[in-house]
């Protein structure tokens, strides 16, 4: 098993007839999946997703893959293949298409419909090519074959990529539900056929590689929902992911079975379910879907609300209901179902929602107390099947943090893939497939590209470090205007603090210290504002550390009047 | 079941012969446990703990119970009973004792030793009274009997409190391990005897009331550690809670069995294990314990490191090893065991540690992949035993968030406690036991008291809100000195930002806008600095919102030169 190297050099040129693979995202993290393949000077991209920030990246809206290594090569890209319509696979497209609006996008019918709806909000009309399971497309040196896979969104695809260097099979995200609602299982027959042909490099979803055994079928949630609905005397409110069409289908089925009507709440939920319904992926009998206004006219025991906010997002309807900050008030008769996973990092927020709802007396059903969620990714037992069917020559685990990549590598090894044919790489690591052997040959620089408000990439690690300090400790700013000629302070010291202390009077003593320090410095001939600022910083810093044992940010500004 | 009332009035006077119970912490949250009992004008306190802040309370070190309702009554307090030595039960003492240093503290031998070691660091020598299982103490109107309970720290006690109003039984924190390492089980015989006498009010630990079934014995961890040690070719590093003496005992036993030596790392680990060893709660054969320096001289396969940092605390040894920021470098031969729970809110931090360690190739064992932790609190199946043995007349779930309190209440109801004899209260809610019936009669105001650095209570919700804004968005400060007589700007506008944008030049355009705005205002006769500041804030706020779609904190300062 190749081990990661901390100081990989820039790679040499790709050998004639070799295939190069670089992930710009998704390796060493869960999210912003993006893999770049190169053959004969031409590039193919698989997916272009976003990563959602965690608490150490405060105020950031999204994190993009780093496109820097592509910027001079945009014209060499044949196309972007989209395996499915989740944000961590398509969310980066609006930003990639800024660099080249006519990049062709390939994907299944539902995937492209969701991409187009998303891009419309960014006022982009993409060039698309719809593909389906079994489709073959030739794009430059890349001969693509698409394979059906089952996932937590319909119409997902794996992609087999043939080049003269060999056959690459990229699973995308997939699971192995053997009885999915839409009967569209992961096509192991095609995996077997490709395995017989010889898969030279197998890129495999690692998300659940640490999870032992097998994932229950989505179908098993139906009876649970049915029994919850049967026992509910009041409203039923279901929070789920806006993209989970089969989960919502089962909620609708339960609602119909119990004579209830359903309203969708939340922009992304309404948008996705609209697309899904238009294309026939969601089936809703006539008259079941109503508006929120219509729903509020119904007796509670006929109402179902389907909303987002299952991750405790503070502005979502669910959090506002839990905070008693919404027109919908819940009480002991009502039932709330969190029919979703708990994305790591959201535990506190979700816990707050559960406590807020529980406090009202409402019944809260969640994955901790009922089977109302199943994962969308193949677990260890299922991955073993896949490895045994594909019998790959080289394996590169993708889509996961280090713990997941390494667990996936262990599964490959257990099924007989030789240790030295398993490539453990992280973002930016360059893997070449040459003469049937995949190996790490170097790395390209990749970083986090933060989207914050209207800005892309203008928030740096320095700004985030500043935010962390400000968020933990607040700041003290000190303004002083000086007359250098007269050698005196003409305005200020004006001291302001935020996030530091309740009582502004606490700063009075330091005000005199600052004035004295500045006037002494001026008297000693120090007139450089920067030097004066350093002296002010020292005085205030020493005082705050000794008196308060804290380390707020200190911002001294000395200007000449 | 009494439901919480959002606007409870101040309670009337306690009726003659009645007992009053008010929790100042621990109800509606996990932590800062503190219960105040009142009879005949005298008070008894059970526990005085701290709560650890979550991400919505940035920069806070600790959260205390709100002592405000006690401040005028400190002389009426008979004593503080400490059920066990965990921080969430004793951590508030240094702050409570500031209000009255001679408050008597009652607790078991180990509990008091840990309290005294803690208070020494605050230079406080407390007045203590050691008690033990079976002890009885009369303190004013309160007749106390102590009962052994098993928990994740040795020498824990429940307390029965007899007053003329009735018998109160407070479990403290407890679990039901039937084969604990020290053979000191929760004394159900005494619970049964008290139940036969008649428990009028039963205060019951709710922490695990949502967890179905039974908690495995601490003893079951031993063989798991043994097999991990047996397979380890390199170092073994075990991270655990500094107070978990039995867990550490089992690590030491495994080390001895496999011919390894042990070093403790981390101030709190060294302190607690020192106390535990001195008092005989931790048994270490001669020569097994070594210093870090001695350990580093040993071959890797003879070394065991026991440290803190199991919650991913960034400055702890474990995080630094995971970050390759420590003299100890781990690799594929080494094994790290996280022998602890995962406290909600720490998931991301722990995940970072696991990924960092996994990246090195080291083997990481944690509660997700092996039985290396068991909880310290009785779960639902165990609580049913306790309710059936005690058969309480009134029940008040304690120690838990709403979800836990409500789950505990449901268990009480299932064992036959009438719905109207189960009191669901949160912090500050006043419960009176009068004529054998417990009921909510009002509330006293309680808030969060934040400890930050040297300050107690000087950080307000406003400051925390400011920190949240600063941490998410950063700030822009604008300093202008004006000459009112001349009607002109004499210094500035000086604009500074932190945590907002990479490029300082981005603020150039707004500088001119601010100058123009101020000079126009001065020309129009506006000379009040506050009004001028408001104008500056508007100009900058509008610009930043339109240009950047962000909302940093804006701090305008206009001073007269």
Domains and CATH numbers, chain A: 19-213+375-444 (3.60.15.10), 218-365 (3.40.50.10710), 461-560 (3.10.20.580)
Question: For A75-113, how does the pLDDT look when each residue is reduced to its tens digit (9 = 90+)?
Answer: 999 999 999 999 999 999 999 999 999 999 999 999 999
The dihedral sign for the CA sequence A194, A195, A196, A197: positive
Contact B500 A471 (CB under 8 A): no
Residue A530: which pLDDT band, with cuts at 50, 70 and 90?
confident
Query: What is the nearest CA distance from B348 to chain A, expressed in angstroms?
Result: 5
Question: For B423-436, how does the pLDDT look when each residue is reduced to its tens digit (9 = 90+)?
Answer: 999 999 999 999 99
Question: Is the pLDDT at B501 greater than 90, yes or no?
Answer: no
> 3-state SS of B403-454?
HHHHHHHHHHHHCCCCHHHEECCCCCEEEEEECCEEEEEEECCCCCEEEECC
Question: Is the pLDDT at A276 greater than 90, yes or no?
Answer: yes
Query: What is the nearest CA distance from B325 to chain A, expressed in angstroms?
Result: 14
Give the rounded percent of residues in chain A with a pLDDT score beyond 70.
Answer: 99
List the structure tokens of A289. 């879907």
Contact A348 B344 (CB under 8 A): yes
Alpha carbon distances (Å) from A462 to A352, A467, A478, B501, B502: 31, 9, 22, 9, 8
Give the per-residue pLDDT at A396. Answer: 98
Alpha carbon distances (Å) from B363 to B231, B239, B354, B356, B357: 11, 14, 9, 11, 8
On chain A, the residues whose CB falls within 8 A of the CB of B491 are 481, 490-491, 559-561
Phi, psi of A384 (to 5 degrees): -60, -45
Query: What is the nearest CA distance from A403 to chain B, expressed in angstroms?
Result: 5
For A458, the closest of B355, B361, B503 (CB atoms) is B503
List the structure tokens of B139. 């303190």
List the structure tokens of A409. 């590598």
Give the per-residue pLDDT at B189. Answer: 96
Residue A177: which pLDDT band, with cuts at 50, 70 and 90?
very high
d(CA A111, CA A99): 22
Find the closest chain A residue to B473 by CA distance: A59
In this predicted structure, which of A442-446, B122-126, B184-188, B477-481 has the lowest mean pLDDT? B477-481
Q: Which of residues 341-400 of B touch A (CB under 8 A)?
A: 344-345, 347-348, 351, 354-356, 358-359, 361, 364, 368-369
Give the per-residue pLDDT at A3. Answer: 46
Helices A347-359, B402-414: inter-axial angle, 10-degree rounding: 50
**Chain B CB within 8 Å of residue A331 CB:** no
Query: What is the nearest CA distance from A401 to chain B, expressed in angstroms?
Result: 7
For A355, the closest of B347, B359, B402 (CB atoms) is B402
On chain A, the residues whose CB falls within 8 A of the CB of B548 are 453-455
**Chain A CB within 8 Å of residue B456 CB:** no
Beta carbons of B375 and B347 less than 8 angstroms apart: no
Q: Which of residues 514-543 of A touch B (CB under 8 A)?
A: none
Query: What is the nearest CA distance from A368 to chain B, expressed in angstroms?
Result: 9
In this predicted structure, which of B103-112, B315-324, B451-460 has the lowest mean pLDDT? B451-460
Question: For B220-253, how does the pLDDT look when each residue is reduced to its tens digit (9 = 90+)?
Answer: 999 999 999 999 999 999 999 999 999 999 999 9
**Chain A CB within 8 Å of residue B261 CB:** no
Find the closest chain A residue to B57 by CA distance: A472
For A471, the closest of B406, B458, B471 (CB atoms) is B471
**Chain A CB within 8 Å of residue B424 CB:** no
Phi, psi of A530 (to 5 degrees): -65, -45
On chain A, the residues whose CB falls within 8 A of the CB of B503 are 458
Contact B344 A361 (CB under 8 A): no
Contact B502 A460 (CB under 8 A): yes
Per-residue pLDDT, averaged over B318-329, amounts to 89
**Chain B CB within 8 Å of residue A4 CB:** yes
For testing the chain A interface, which of B207, B362, B413, B474 should be mutated: the one with the most A CBs within 10 Å? B474
Query: What is the nearest CA distance from A305 to chain B, expressed in angstroms?
Result: 22
Question: For A144-176, how does the pLDDT look when each residue is reduced to its tens digit (9 = 90+)?
Answer: 999 999 999 999 999 999 999 999 999 999 999
- CA B33 to the chain's CA centroid: 9
Residue A1: which pLDDT band, with cuts at 50, 70 and 90?
very low
Give the per-residue pLDDT at A360. Answer: 92
Find the closest chain A residue to B547 by CA distance: A454
Question: Is the pLDDT at B2 greater than 60, yes or no?
Answer: no
Q: Other CB atoms closer than 10 Å to residue A178's CB: what's the count?
A: 12
**Chain B CB within 8 Å of residue A452 CB:** yes
- CA B218 to the chain's CA centroid: 22
Nearest 10 degrees: Cα torsion B142, B144, B149, B152: 60
d(CA A397, CA B51): 41
On chain A, the residues whose CB falls within 8 A of the CB of B560 are 491
On chain A, the residues whose CB falls within 8 A of the CB of B561 are 481, 490-491, 561
**Chain A CB within 8 Å of residue B331 CB:** no
Question: Is the pLDDT at B529 greater than 90, yes or no?
Answer: no
| pTM exceeds cut of 0.95 | no
**Chain A CB within 8 Å of residue B414 CB:** no
d(CA A203, CA A397): 6
**Chain B CB within 8 Å of residue A216 CB:** no
Contact A477 B354 (CB under 8 A): no
Q: Which of residues 87-116 of A touch B (CB under 8 A)?
A: none
**Chain A CB within 8 Å of residue B294 CB:** no
Question: For A136-145, how does the pLDDT look when each residue is reduced to its tens digit (9 = 90+)?
Answer: 999 999 999 9
The 8-class DSSP code of residue B315 comes to T
Query: What is the nearest CA distance from B449 to chain A, expressed in angstroms?
Result: 12
Contact A458 B364 (CB under 8 A): no
Question: Is the pLDDT at B1 greater than 50, yes or no?
Answer: no
SS3 B350: helix
Residue B3: which pLDDT band, with cuts at 50, 70 and 90?
very low
For testing the chain A interface, which of B7, B470, B546 should be mutated: the one with the most A CBs within 10 Å? B470
Give the per-residue pLDDT at B5. Answer: 52
E strand segments, B13-60: 19-25, 34-39, 42-46
Contact B471 A468 (CB under 8 A): yes
Find the closest chain B residue to A60 by CA distance: B472
| Residue carrying the six token digits 């997002």 | A313
Give the per-residue pLDDT at A547. Answer: 82
**Chain B CB within 8 Å of residue A28 CB:** yes
Return the bridge partners of A431, or none. Answer: A21, A440
Q: Report ipTM for this prediction.
A: 0.83
């Amino acid at each position: 098993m190749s081990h990661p190297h901390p100081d990989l050099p820039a790679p040499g040129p790709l050998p004639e007839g070799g295939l190069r693979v670089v992930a710009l995202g998704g390796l060493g993290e869960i999210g912003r999946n993006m893999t770049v393949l190169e053959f004969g000077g031409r590039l193919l991209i698989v997916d272009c997703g976003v990563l959602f920030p965690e608490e150490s990246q405060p105020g950031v809206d999204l994190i993009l893959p780093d496109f820097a290594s592509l910027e001079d090569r945009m014209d060499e890209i044949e196309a972007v293949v989209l395996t499915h319509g989740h944000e961590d696979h398509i969310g980066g497209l609006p930003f990639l298409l800024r660099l080249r609006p006519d990049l062709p996008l390939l994907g299944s019918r539902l995937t492209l419909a969701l991409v187009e709806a998303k891009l419309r909000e960014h006022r982009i009309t993409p060039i698309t090519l719809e593909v389906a399971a079994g489709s073959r497309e030739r794009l430059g040196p890349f001969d693509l074959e698409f394979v059906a896979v089952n996932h937590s969104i319909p119409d997902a695809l794996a992609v087999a990529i043939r080049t003269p260097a060999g056959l690459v099979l990229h699973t995308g995200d997939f699971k192995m539900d053997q009885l999915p609602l839409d009967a569209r299982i992961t096509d192991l027959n095609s995996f077997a056929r490709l395995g017989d042909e010889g898969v030279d490099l197998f890129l495999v979803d690692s998300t659940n590689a640490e999870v032992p055994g097998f994932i229950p079928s989505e179908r098993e949630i139906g009876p649970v929902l049915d029994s919850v609905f049967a026992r509910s005397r009041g409203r039923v409110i279901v929070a789920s992911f806006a993209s989970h069409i089969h989960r919502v289908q089962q909620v609708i089925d339960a609602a119909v079975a119990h004579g209830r009507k359903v309203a969708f709440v939340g922009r992304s939920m309404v948008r996705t379910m609209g697309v899904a319904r238009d294309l026939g992926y969601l089936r809703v009998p006539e008259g079941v879907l109503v508006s929120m206004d219509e729903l509020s006219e119904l007796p509670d025991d006929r109402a179902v609300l389907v909303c987002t906010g299952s991750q405790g997002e503070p502005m979502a309807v669910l959090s506002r209901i839990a905070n008693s900050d919404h027109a919908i008030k819940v009480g002991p008769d009502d039932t709330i179902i969190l029919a979703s996973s708990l994305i790591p990092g959201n535990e506190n927020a979700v816990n707050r929602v559960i406590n807020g709802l529980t406090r009202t007396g409402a019944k809260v059903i969640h994955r901790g107390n009922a089977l109302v969620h199943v994962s969308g990714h193949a677990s260890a037992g299922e991955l073993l099947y896949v490895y045994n069917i594909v019998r790959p020559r080289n394996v590169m685990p993708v889509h996961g943090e280090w713990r997941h990549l390494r667990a996936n590598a262990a599964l490959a090894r257990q099924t007989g893939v030789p240790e030295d044919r398993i490539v453990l790489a992280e973002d930016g690591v360059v893997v070449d497939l040459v003469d049937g052997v995949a190996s790490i040959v170097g790395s390209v620089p990749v970083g986090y590209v933060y989207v914050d408000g209207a800005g892309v990439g203008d928030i740096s690690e320095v700004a985030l470090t500043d935010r962390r300090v400000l968020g933990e400790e607040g700041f003290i700013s000190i303004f002083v205007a000086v007359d250098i000629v007269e050698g005196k302070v003409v305005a200020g010291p004006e001291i302001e603090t935020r996030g530091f202390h309740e009582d502004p009077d606490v700063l009075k003593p330091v005000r005199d210290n600052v004035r004295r320090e500045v006037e002494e410095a001026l008297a000693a001939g120090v007139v450089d504002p920067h030097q004066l600022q350093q002296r002010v910083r020292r005085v205030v810093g020493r005082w705050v550390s000794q008196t308060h044992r804290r380390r707020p940010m200190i911002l001294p500004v000395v200007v000449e009047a």
